[in-house]
Amino acid sequence: MAVKLAIFDCDGTMVDSQANICRAMEAAFAAEKLPAPDHHVTRRIVGLSLREAMAVMLPNGDGAQHHRLADHYKAAFVHLRGSGVMQEESLYDGLIALFDRLEAADWLLAVATGKSDRGLAMVLHHHGLEGRFVSLQTADRHPSKPHPSMIDLAMADAGAERGGTVMIGDTSYDMEMAVNAGVRAIGVDWGYHDTHELTATGADVVAMQMADLFDILEGKTDAG
């Protein structure tokens, strides 16, 4: 039987992490004596690797400043964790039930995220999700989305072919990555980019709620 592989983005797809991301971004900009960025702008870069994200956030800056901003951002996250003020990155409702149904239907699960190895490990440990995924791909070991490298390695880990693989995410970067990898792209409506952006960048369908994803993956509906 052909392998069925569902690759999930993390921030904005599995967990709601925008509050911590916005706080860390504000601290990074403050360290460079720059005005605090608008939260809507910050939400739009979720999913990119840090250097690429900073280039989008500060297009008039140079490479050295983008590098410093990325370092400030990482330091801010460490401080948030250590000070005990980091907000919980809660799972979106219905995710565990979805994973249970998918595994019962012989789907393998993987993650492809702009988080670091450490950041992803902390989320998975906090929510007891270790061991549920056959592949964990992060920004530490890959070019930034929408490069297809994360999907390619996840498929190799799972022994999956392109025709049996889907990428599930909330941003245009996820959809573009899926298109670049030649796999099915499924958007979700509860994350950080608008539905019309997901469709415009390659989403085959957009799930409006978590419960829709199982039927979409199983080919029981094409409606999002």
Q: 193-215: per-residue pLDDT in tens? A: 999 999 999 999 999 999 999 99
Q: State the pLDDT at residue 222.
A: 53
Same domain for 203 and 128?
A: yes
Q: State the pLDDT at residue 21.
A: 84
Same domain for 194 and 94?
A: yes
Domain contains 22: yes
How far apart are alpha carbons 204 and 129 in whole angstroms?
28
Q: State the pLDDT at residue 18.
A: 81
Q: State the pLDDT at residue 224.
A: 44
Same domain for 144 and 98?
A: yes
Which residue of the set 11, 16, 152, 170 is catalytic?
11
Query: Active-site residue 11, yes or no?
Result: yes
Same domain for 12 and 25?
A: no
How many structural domains compose the chain?
2
Please give the mean pLDDT across all residues of the chain.
91
Domain contains 66: yes
Q: 41-97: per-residue pLDDT in tens? A: 888 888 888 888 899 999 998 999 999 999 998 888 788 777 765 667 889 999 999
Poorest-pLDDT segment among 128-132, 179-183, 220-224: 220-224
CATH for 37: 1.10.150
Which residue of the set 9, 16, 204, 212 is catalytic?
9
Same domain for 167 and 208?
A: yes
Identify the CA nearest to 120 among candidates 108, 107, 135.
135
Domain contains 176: yes
CA separation, residue 83 to residues 23, 88, 126, 166, 186 (Å): 13, 13, 17, 38, 37
How far apart are alpha carbons 110 and 154 in whole angstroms?
7
Same domain for 201 and 134?
A: yes
% residues pLDDT > 70 (the chain): 96
Domain contains 224: no
Same domain for 136 and 156?
A: yes
Strand order in the sheet with 107-112: 135-137, 107-112, 4-8, 165-169, 184-188, 205-207
pTM to 2 decimal places: 0.86
Q: Are 142 and 40 in contact (CB under 8 A)?
A: no
Q: State the pLDDT at residue 173.
A: 95
Same domain for 71 and 113?
A: no
Name the DSSP class of 82: H
Helix residue spans in the chain (DSSP H): 18-31, 39-44, 50-57, 63-83, 95-104, 117-126, 149-158, 172-181, 195-200, 212-217
Same domain for 94 and 26?
A: no
How far apart are alpha carbons 42 and 75 in whole angstroms?
17
The larger pLDDT score, comparing residue 126 to residue 107, is at 107
> Three-state DSSP class for 164?
helix
Domain contains 223: no
- Among residues 40, 61, 83, the one where a domain terminates is 83
pLDDT band at residue 223 using 50, 70 and 90 as cut-offs: very low
- Among residues 37, 56, 83, the one where a domain terminates is 83
Q: State the pLDDT at residue 87.
A: 64
Name the DSSP class of 106: T
Query: Active-site residue 9, yes or no?
Result: yes
Same domain for 59 and 74?
A: yes
Residue ranges making up the domain that contains 154: 4-16+90-217
Token pair in block for residue 85: 């003020």
- Among residues 33, 53, 83, the one where a domain terminates is 83
Same domain for 69 and 163?
A: no
